[in-house]
């Protein structure tokens, strides 16, 4: 499992990932805008 955190300007961004048994990666991105909404996106890579 991988994890990445970035903070800057108007919010914070987090990404977590998990490699599957068949060699693909499942990534989930979270973006928290200060005082606003939260955006959640996901993707399968590979």
- For the chain, domain boundaries: 2-45
| pLDDT for the residue numbered 2 | 67
Burial of 12 (0-12, 13-18, 19+ CB in 10 A): middle
Q: Can you give the pLDDT at residue 7?
A: 77
Residue 4 clears pLDDT 90, i.e. is over it: no
Q: Please give the average per-residue pLDDT across 19-43, as a whole number.
A: 91
What is the rounded CA–CA span in Å between residue 46 and residue 38? 27
* Integer Rg of the chain from CA: 12
pTM over 0.85: no
């Amino acid at each position: 499992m991988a994890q990445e955190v970035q903070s800057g300007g108007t919010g914070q961004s987090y990404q977590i990932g998990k490699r599957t048994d068949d060699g693909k990666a499942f990534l989930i991105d979270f973006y928290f805008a200060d005082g606003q909404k939260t955006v959640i996106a996901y993707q399968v890579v590979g």
